[in-house]
Amino acid sequence: MSETKTKWDWEITSQTSYWGTSLGEMWSFRHLLGGLVKRNFLLKYQQTILGPFWILFPPLLTLVTYVVVFGKFVGIPTGGLPPVLFYFSGIILWSFFSDSFSGTASTFKDNAHLFSKVYFPRIVLPLSIISTQLYNFLIQFMLLLLLVAYYWLFQGLTISPGITILWFPVAIITTAVLALGMGLFFSVLTAKYRDIGYVISLGVRLLMYVTPVIYPLSAVPEKVQWVVQLNPLSPLFEAFRLSLLGEGTVSVFHLMYSMLFTAAFFSAALLLFNKQGDKLIDVV
């Protein structure tokens, strides 16, 4: 039996690859992805009376707070939109982003036990978190549509759906990919240095204030608008509102900037995640 004749299916070396798992292998783990999403969902509502309704309560409660605090007391203008719709659209997209990001950023830390006992493509776990959050987002989005319908029917809100509706999937997908990219990048860092975990929870809170969540971009003074526009999330939020509610300050140029930034960041993060993922198990 000569050495050359033997065909090996797999080979483990000390080298780690930037390219990670092949698509074929990923496909064979699709059931795991589905199973994990289901598990995340079940776990969250295990032993609760209201169950999945808890997806809707937190954003609604935040909505009430925002309407009262920012709308009534502080008086931040919401453009021509009813404050309820304005805030709620911002809240659900923001919670989608921040929950996805902070959920994936601790992938290695949270799953160290699992990762040290069994092999599967590590990327499956962050993907399952994003998918779970996307699912939650879609449910919250249904509620937003109901609210929009209410305002349209009874409050005389005029919406003229146009070509801008195409921005909607772009905004959602780009937000998801950006959250995943940032999550992958920081998961590698938090695995080794837990300090990063604290930085993330702080950073996410601060990031919200340079994102048009509680204010429209148009309400930002011209002089500092560039700060907000530098944030690749800003055009996504504006595009999201524009596509749904018909109001938002966004240009194709800004949207392109967001998408390119996201694509570049995500690719880099994915390569880093693949390259470092196999080594990290020694240090988590």
Partner 1 sequence: MAENIIQVERISKLYRLGTIGTGSFRQDLQHWWNLYILGKKDPFFHLDNTVLPNAQQDQIWALQDINFEVKQGESLGIIGSNGSGKSTLLKIISRIVKPTMGTVKGKGKVSSLLEVGTGFNKELTGRENIFISGYILGMSKAEVAAKFDEIVAFSGIEEFVDTPVKRYSSGMYVRLAFAVAAHLEPDILIVDEVLAVGDADFQKKCLGKMREVSQSDGRTILFVSHSMQAINTLCDRALWLNKGTMKEIGPSTTVVNKYIASMQKLQLQQKWETSSLAPGNDKIRFKQVELIPHLELTEGIIDVRTPLTVKFQFWNLLEEVSINVGLVLFSYSGDCIFDLLSPATVCHKGIVEGECTIPGNLLNDGSYYISLHVARDVSIQLYYFEECLAFDVEDYRGNLNYFEKWWGAVRPQLPFRLENKNIRLQLSI
Q: Which residue's entry shows tokens 């880093």?
A: 272
Among 43, 49, 153, 163, the residue binding partner 1 under the rule CB under 8 A is: 43
Interaction of residue 9 with partner 1, rule CB under 8 A = yes
Interaction of residue 114 with partner 1, rule CB under 8 A = yes
Candidate ranges 24-32, 80-88, 247-255, 263-271; the one touching partner 1 (CB under 8 A): 24-32
Interaction of residue 14 with partner 1, rule CB under 8 A = yes
Task: Tokens for 256, please give them.
Answer: 């392109």
Interaction of residue 205 with partner 1, rule CB under 8 A = no
Give whole-number Cα distances, 97 to 18, 112, 174, in Å. 26, 24, 10
Among 1, 49, 153, 163, the residue binding partner 1 under the rule CB under 8 A is: 1
- Residue 175 neighbours by CB under 8 Å, 6+ apart: 93, 96, 97, 233, 236, 240
Candidate ranges 30-38, 51-59, 68-76, 196-204; the one touching partner 1 (CB under 8 A): 30-38
Interaction of residue 16 with partner 1, rule CB under 8 A = yes
Phi-psi region at 268: left, alpha or beta (left = phi > 0; alpha = psi -120 to 50): alpha
Interface map 152-171 toward partner 1 (x if CB under 8 A):
--------------------
Output the smallest distance, CB 8 to partner 1, in A. 4
Task: Tokens for 142, please give them.
Answer: 């249904």
Give the closest residue to 36 by CA, choosing from 137, 105, 111.
111
- DSSP labels, 63-102: HHHHIIIIIIII---BTBS-HHHHHHHHHHHHHHHHHHHH
Give whole-number Cα distances, 54 to 112, 207, 209, in Å. 28, 25, 25
Q: How many residues bind partner 1 (CB under 8 A)?
A: 38
Among 2, 4, 12, 19, the residue binding partner 1 under the rule CB under 8 A is: 12
Interaction of residue 48 with partner 1, rule CB under 8 A = no
Interface residue list for partner 1 (CB under 8 A)? 1, 6-14, 16, 28-29, 31-32, 34-36, 38-39, 42-43, 46-47, 114-120, 192-193, 278-279, 281-283
